[in-house]
A and B are shown apart, each in its own frame.
Chain A
Amino acid sequence: MNRPELQKAAHILTFVSLLTGAQGFVADCGGRVLASAGGYDRTSLPPDHPARSVLGSDSVYMIPDESRSVFAVYFPVLSAGECLGVLGLETECKETGERLARAGQSIQALADMMRTGPGGSQHAFVPEGPLVQAVIEMLDEPVAVIDATGRLTHLNQAGISLFGRGAIGEWFEDRFPGSGFTAAWARLRGEGKSFVNVDLDLPEGEYRATLRAARSGPRTVGVVLTVRPDSREPGSPGWRFTFDEIKGTSPAIRKAKEMARKVASTDSTVLLLGESGTGKELFARAIHGHSFRASKPFVAINCAAIPESLLESELFGYEGGAFTGARPGGKPGKFEVANGGTVFLDEIGDMPLVLQAKLLRVLQDKEVERVGGIRPVSVDVRVISASHKDLEELVMKGAFREDLYYRLAVIPLHIPALRERKEDLYLLLEHYLRRYRTLYSKTPKRLSSEVLKVLFDYDWPGNVRELENTVEYIVNMESGDLVTLDSLPPRFARLIARETTGDPGMSIESAEADAIRRALEIYGTSARGKEKAARALGIHRATLYRKLKKLGIDA
């Protein structure tokens, strides 16, 4: 609000100058602090303050206020007959006060300048309040606008129901002491970040909130706070996932994160390639969180997890009556739900060819057609896809459309497997140990050298997801503070045996057993899984059953 003008005026006149908003909150205050008038900053004008009588009027008010031994002039800042606030100049010196009174015209010009801005531009002092209010009312979640002093200036309807109407105009910390707001704001400022996710302890319960800084140059002029019911699940609606959540300092993961960060700001399609459990979805969420679509939905769908017959209606939606059992009103597909945001298509290699053609149309025309629909609906989404399969090979085999592949893989990004970044193993172990022992209220743990050796020797076919589950298992099983071999999950049995007996585990038989166990881990132990495992191992199903029996593998 024209702070430089005000500062300049204060400097020239060596008075206290003060600018208030229409409600009498002091928006800015400059100049020498008078004993009697000090402390304007961060306050609302007292109810009996003479400047209040100018608010809402169009008259100039001048007063030798003897009770406060202050000589002052107050001018309304008017725009189209509406009083936007008060410009006041105060001094303790009687002579200066009289001179002030004589300089009325020039000061009114200054007040006019507040409204119009230097050079007469008409937009400098638009009443921001109603505009801000209109903007925040567009949002369904509770939103609070807080000024630089920590005072609530605006709440939307949802915000009013959460914080109460009376909170407007009050300092957040005073209204909700111990909520953790001040610490959160401190973090926002202290860490120089543009937003932070925090827990707020409000009387109604604990809420997950995002604080976004409003900056003008280096100065933080306020903060916008959005709240949603507490959800610990990172990635729940509105939770902004960042690359900080992906732990690791190895060159491999740093390279992946750096590249993902670079492409986040563009709108190109990204194809994430990596084994199962490497964190492809985390990368997709982080890319979304760092893109301009961050405030819009992130919708993930696993193409392999949904039956072929349902996938089409899941992705593109359907019209009422499109098929037996369809909802009468129809249902929007994931693309429509994600409009404006990001769609994450996991296991894209498992998408049937028919749907691939339809997906290609969506990517090219930016329109989706519901199943049974007549009119296409235009959508604006970014598509991030992922696969653990070699898509190029699928293209060569004819199982994946070449044109779609090139559409999706504008930016291919390789997510390293855990065994390619064993340097990070220790950090990840410690990270999850801390997470799960806190979650289950257990005591802190450290790893024995035998456990460390087994974990470092292990190949981690299930990658970080497997590691996380392993640590959760350990935290549940180990009651002491030193994690021993006994608290490792059974699948480590072979490595443990090697560790305890000194058997190098290099015989053909053990290698065979290892390969079979791995295959079963990947494909499962159901009859169908065993069939797939046998195919992957290049042996007949009957041979697999025979070997299972011979090697004593329990499956």
Chain B
Amino acid sequence: MYVDLSELEALRLGATVLGSGGGGDTYLSYLLAREAVKKHGPVRLLQVHELPDDALVIPTAMMGSPMIMNERVPSGKEALTSLRTVEKQLGRQALATMPIEAGGLNAFTALTAAARGGLPVVDGDGMGRAFPELQMCTFHVYGVAGSPVAVTSEQGHSVVIESAENPMLERLARATVAGMGGVGYIAAYPMSGKQVKEASVAGTLSLGIRIGQALLSAERKRSHPAGALLDAFAQSTYGQGMVLLEGRVTALERQRARRVTVEGHESYARQTLEVEFRYENLIARLDGRVVSTVPELIVFLHYETGMPLLTEELRPGMRVICLSVPTPEITVTEEALAVFGPKAFGYDCEFRSARKDGWR
């Protein structure tokens, strides 16, 4: 499978859905990927099982504030520069790159690097969604060393960081990014093909494309976007999700609590949904009862347009549909939940899936 212009357009929506409210606005990085693909041709999508065990894969991502990224517009070659820097450190060439985070704008960072570097992209990532920290990924959970990390700024400055501890790497990389003005482009977690197979969430880029295509097709046919979205997830390793509530945003607290309250409409009348978020939606409570928690995807769709919404786009009075979608098995093991389950975000509750029976 190749990622060409139409796939990129679909992925814009799909990546936003996978971002679960976070992951940043995809527009600018989508444009950068589009330009790269226009100039260098479509990017080959490598399935995880197609990788030789001894292949070298170097994942890439943007790190820092998406808002600042829009002010300090990158040229698009930063992530590839970081990848080449890591290659130099290791003395080996990468066979492919892949996203660390397939949710939000970072789905495109790896695609841009791949198009520019003439590399394929592995169809998968380390989160299956979006997370705020570098070590909140399956690569770290299943023992892949993040080091060496290369960080490149839009000005072309590069820094290489080495540490045996992934959380320390996150701290150092974040400090470096701050020094670069708030945004940097990294290459990290260099891995063997074997590690990719055992420690990544497979198929997330092609799923993002399929989700986007489903939403675009629902828009064209004027059919229900939530239904189209859930059908696309049902035919994936994520499984069958569900609509939690349809209603209107009645309260929105962004400062301390970071919580959005939605009052149900019509058949959801008399029900109240509260979703707590940081950058991404993390916990959903229906009438005070926790029904879905991170790493499950909690996604808001705009009621009128059917398009996915970032938490920063939510406004009081807005009509929304809120969905919850389970995530692949690799993201809900005990080790994984210790790193990015609800407790890792400081909530005193166990992981909970909205789907009672989990598999149907």
> Is B226 within 8 A of A427, CB to CB?
no
Interface size class for chain B? 35 or more
Complex Cα–Cα for A182 and B246 (A): 12
> Is A448 within 8 A of B198, CB to CB?
yes
> Is B202 within 8 A of A187, CB to CB?
no
Complex Cα–Cα for A3 and B21 (A): 40
> Is B227 within 8 A of A192, CB to CB?
yes
Chain B 310-330, CB-CB to A under 8 Å as 1, else 0, gives 000000000001010000111
> Is B194 within 8 A of A182, CB to CB?
no
Complex Cα–Cα for A190 and B266 (A): 11
Assuming A185-B267, A427-B203, A449-B198, is B329 touching A434 (CB within 8 A)?
Answer: yes
> Is A426 within 8 A of B237, CB to CB?
yes
Chain A 186-217, CB-CB to B under 8 Å as 1, else 0, gives 11111111000001000000000000000000
Complex contacts, B223 vs chain A, CB 8 Å: 192
Q: Which of A370-428 contact B (CB under 8 A)?
A: 423, 425-427
Complex Cα–Cα for A249 and B329 (A): 19
User: Which of these, B230, B236, B266, contacts A249 with CB under 8 Å?
Assistant: B236
User: Which of these, B48, B193, B242, B333, contacts A187 with CB under 8 Å?
Assistant: B242
The tally of residues in A whose CB lies under 8 Å from a CB in B reads: 44
User: Which of these, B47, B203, B227, B245, contacts A186 with CB under 8 Å?
Assistant: B245
Complex Cα–Cα for A424 and B331 (A): 20
Say yes or no for A244: interface residue by CB 8 A criterion: yes
Q: Specify the chain A residue showing the minimal Cβ separation from B227.
A: A191
Assuming A182-B271, A444-B329, is B334 touching A189 (CB within 8 A)?
Answer: no
Complex Cα–Cα for A481 and B266 (A): 43
Complex contacts, B321 vs chain A, CB 8 Å: 190
Q: Which one of B150-158, B171-179, B351-359 contacts A? A: B351-359
> Is A449 within 8 A of B330, CB to CB?
no
Complex contacts, B285 vs chain A, CB 8 Å: none
> Is B359 within 8 A of A446, CB to CB?
no
Complex Cα–Cα for A185 and B243 (A): 10
Complex contacts, B224 vs chain A, CB 8 Å: 190-192
> Is B267 within 8 A of A189, CB to CB?
yes
Complex Cα–Cα for A126 and B168 (A): 75
> Is A186 within 8 A of B202, CB to CB?
no
> Is B246 within 8 A of A186, CB to CB?
yes
> Is B330 within 8 A of A183, CB to CB?
no
Q: Which of B163-196 contact A (CB under 8 A)?
A: 193-194
CB contacts between A and B, total, < 8 Å: 113
Complex Cα–Cα for A247 and B223 (A): 22
Complex Cα–Cα for A148 and B203 (A): 41
Q: Which of B129-166 contact A (CB under 8 A)?
A: 142
Q: Smallest CB–CB gap between A250 and chain B, Å? A: 10
> Is A481 within 8 A of B49, CB to CB?
no
Complex contacts, B329 vs chain A, CB 8 Å: 430, 433-434, 437, 444-446
> Is A447 within 8 A of B198, CB to CB?
yes
Complex Cα–Cα for A210 and B333 (A): 33
Given A186-B244, A189-B267, 11 further pairs, Cβ under 8 A? A150-B267, A191-B227, A192-B226, A244-B235, A426-B48, A427-B237, A430-B237, A449-B193, A452-B48, A452-B49, A481-B334
> Which of A180, A182, A220 has most B Cβ within 10 Å?
A182
Assuming A191-B224, A434-B329, is B234 touching A449 (CB within 8 A)?
Answer: no
> Is B227 within 8 A of A438, CB to CB?
no
Complex Cα–Cα for A186 and B224 (A): 13
Assuming A449-B197, A453-B49, is B234 touching A244 (CB within 8 A)?
Answer: yes
> Is A249 within 8 A of B210, CB to CB?
yes
Say yes or no for A361: interface residue by CB 8 A criterion: no
Say yes or no for B268: interface residue by CB 8 A criterion: yes
Q: Smallest CB–CB gap between A421 and chain B, Å? A: 13
Say yes or no for B219: interface residue by CB 8 A criterion: no
> Is A431 within 8 A of B356, CB to CB?
no
Complex contacts, A435 vs chain B, CB 8 Å: 359
Chain B 240-277, CB-CB to A under 8 Å as 1, else 0, gives 00111110000000000000000000111001000000
Nearest first, the 3 A-B pairs at minimum CB distance are: A192-B224, A190-B243, A191-B227
Assuming A444-B329, A446-B198, A481-B335, is B358 touching A190 (CB within 8 A)?
Answer: no
> Is A186 within 8 A of B53, CB to CB?
no
Complex contacts, A183 vs chain B, CB 8 Å: 242
Q: Specify the chain B residue showing the minimal Cβ separation from A193.
A: B227
> Is B333 within 8 A of A186, CB to CB?
no
Main secondary structure of the interface of A (DSSP, over half): helix
Complex Cα–Cα for A182 and B328 (A): 27
Complex Cα–Cα for A247 and B226 (A): 19
User: Which of these, B53, B198, B235, B267, contacts A182 with CB under 8 Å?
Assistant: B267
User: Which of these, A248, A443, A444, A482, contacts B198 with CB under 8 Å?
Assistant: A482
Q: Smallest CB–CB gap between B81 and chain A, Å? A: 30
Say yes or no for A456: interface residue by CB 8 A criterion: yes
Say yes or no for B4: interface residue by CB 8 A criterion: no
Complex Cα–Cα for A444 and B197 (A): 16
Say yes or no for B35: interface residue by CB 8 A criterion: no
Complex contacts, A437 vs chain B, CB 8 Å: 329
Say yes or no for B332: interface residue by CB 8 A criterion: yes
Complex Cα–Cα for A433 and B329 (A): 8
Complex contacts, B244 vs chain A, CB 8 Å: 186
10 pairs from A and B in contact (CB 8 Å cutoff):
A183-B242, A191-B224, A199-B356, A247-B235, A426-B47, A426-B48, A431-B239, A435-B359, A449-B193, A453-B49
Complex contacts, A247 vs chain B, CB 8 Å: 235
Chain A 121-152, CB-CB to B under 8 Å as 1, else 0, gives 00000000000000000000000000010100
Complex Cα–Cα for A452 and B356 (A): 29
Complex contacts, B334 vs chain A, CB 8 Å: 443, 481
Q: Smallest CB–CB gap between A481 and chain B, Å? A: 5
Say yes or no for B9: interface residue by CB 8 A criterion: no
Say yes or no for B7: interface residue by CB 8 A criterion: no
Complex Cα–Cα for A443 and B267 (A): 36
Assuming A191-B224, A191-B230, A199-B357, is B236 touching A446 (CB within 8 A)?
Answer: no
Complex Cα–Cα for A431 and B236 (A): 8
Complex contacts, B226 vs chain A, CB 8 Å: 190-192
User: Which of these, A188, A244, A431, contacts B237 with CB under 8 Å?
Assistant: A431
> Is B335 within 8 A of A434, CB to CB?
no
Q: Smallest CB–CB gap between B93 and chain A, Å? A: 21
Complex contacts, A199 vs chain B, CB 8 Å: 356-357
Q: Smallest CB–CB gap between A512 and chain B, Å? A: 28
> Is A446 within 8 A of B246, CB to CB?
no
Q: Specify the chain A residue showing the minimal Cβ separation from B264.
A: A186
> Is A427 within 8 A of B198, CB to CB?
no
Assuming A191-B243, A249-B236, A445-B329, is B193 touching A426 (CB within 8 A)?
Answer: no
Q: Smallest CB–CB gap between A103 and chain B, Å? A: 34
Complex contacts, B142 vs chain A, CB 8 Å: 446
Q: Smallest CB–CB gap between B305 and chain A, Å? A: 15
Complex Cα–Cα for A446 and B231 (A): 24
Q: Smallest CB–CB gap between A377 and chain B, Å? A: 38
Complex Cα–Cα for A360 and B208 (A): 49
Q: Specify the chain B residue showing the minimal Cβ separation from A424.
A: B235
Q: Smallest CB–CB gap between A460 and chain B, Å? A: 14
> Is A426 within 8 A of B202, CB to CB?
yes
Complex contacts, B330 vs chain A, CB 8 Å: 444, 446
Q: Smallest CB–CB gap between B76 and chain A, Å? A: 30
Q: Specify the chain A residue showing the minimal Cβ separation from B332.
A: A444
Assuming A186-B246, A191-B226, is B49 touching A434 (CB within 8 A)?
Answer: no
User: Which of these, B194, B242, B243, B356, contacts A449 with CB under 8 Å?
Assistant: B194
Complex contacts, A443 vs chain B, CB 8 Å: 333-334
> Which of B48, B266, B357 has most A Cβ within 10 Å?
B266
Q: Specify the chain A residue showing the minimal Cβ separation from B356.
A: A199
